Homo-oligomer: A and B are copies of this chain.
């Protein structure tokens, strides 16, 4: 994998880049739609492509549990299985296991947990996490990390971070043992909200050496300004010639704020999950489509939006589909919200290119947009 840093903003830390992967090129900053179970919920691959999605995230841990990575490997890999020939980044499973915390047991070897489907005992180690993602044929493999709940004490965060760094090293060793490996491996900076631990984590990862660096352990309940500060403090610690990926973040406003702090890659379930709940993003804040005031509303979700849903359907129709529990409600709402996110990234890239990113940032701040 190769990363070209095309332009760095002079007034902020925003970066315009290009990621070359085994399945094609990704323009950064980029938002990756989440496709947990080998599909982005509610969309066909063709619909995702039409919206301009260049890379998606899938969850290795979910696929490890069902249908199994060996099955997918036997079907020609995840790209072929799900009919998507553009790049895929896979989450290693650390965060997924963390989300099921009452069922997990972590030690230095790895994570023992139970399947959320049938309670079967499962084990994930750094080596297994790499093997699973390699079997899937992921373009960007993430190291297995130990995710802490927020808030954590300095002691707990230190122990957890050091374990994660040792796991990252073991992932690197396993990944490097794969012959003719066309894929990339990203490390994940941990250390909770403690600057000294974040700095040590970054140093240790850089010492091991990765194709990209993720900022993990955020968006777990800490206040947003604190999250922004941690992201900002990360920038000088990470090598400028490698992509930075902020995991699990966030709102459209978060995307702009964190690009301004040097982030190149994002993923979040928010646009797709909110869509299914009828929460729709607009340039003037969100709307909740089930509300009675949209019952007879002939206007589109957002007058300023160029998405195929806004060009064709009224809020009244979308409300009707939502209250009628129609599948098309999820399809159209997901189309709009994902377009909104992908279009936000297109505008971010455009404004960095034309050296006007600060204007976009100022506009986002003054509009009070989420």
Contacts and interface: CB of A to CB of B under 8 A. Distances in A.
Interface of A: 37-39, 41-44, 66-67, 71, 74-76, 81-83, 295-296, 298, 312-314, 316-317, 319-321, 323-324, 326-328, 330-332
A149 B37 CA distance: 44
A82 B309 CA distance: 11
A331 B332 CA distance: 13
B320 A38 contact: yes
A44 B323 contact: no
Contacts of A298: 75-76
The interface centre, meaning the residue of A71, A74, A296, A331 with most chain B CB atoms within 10 A of its CB, is A331
Contacts of A312: 83
Contacts of A317: 38, 75, 81-83
Interface majority SS (helix, strand, loop, mixed), chain A? loop
B74 A37 contact: no
Given A37-B324, A38-B321, A75-B298, 19 more contacts: A37-B321, A38-B317, A41-B326, A41-B328, A42-B331, A44-B331, A67-B295, A67-B316, A71-B295, A71-B296, A75-B296, A75-B314, A75-B317, A76-B298, A81-B314, A82-B317, A83-B312, A83-B317, A327-B330
A84 to B, nearest CB: 10
11 contacts: A37-B321, A38-B317, A38-B320, A39-B326, A42-B327, A44-B331, A44-B332, A75-B316, A81-B314, A82-B317, A83-B312
A44 B334 CA distance: 13
Contacts of A296: 71, 74-75
Nearest to A83: B312
A289 to B, nearest CB: 13
Nearest to A38: B320
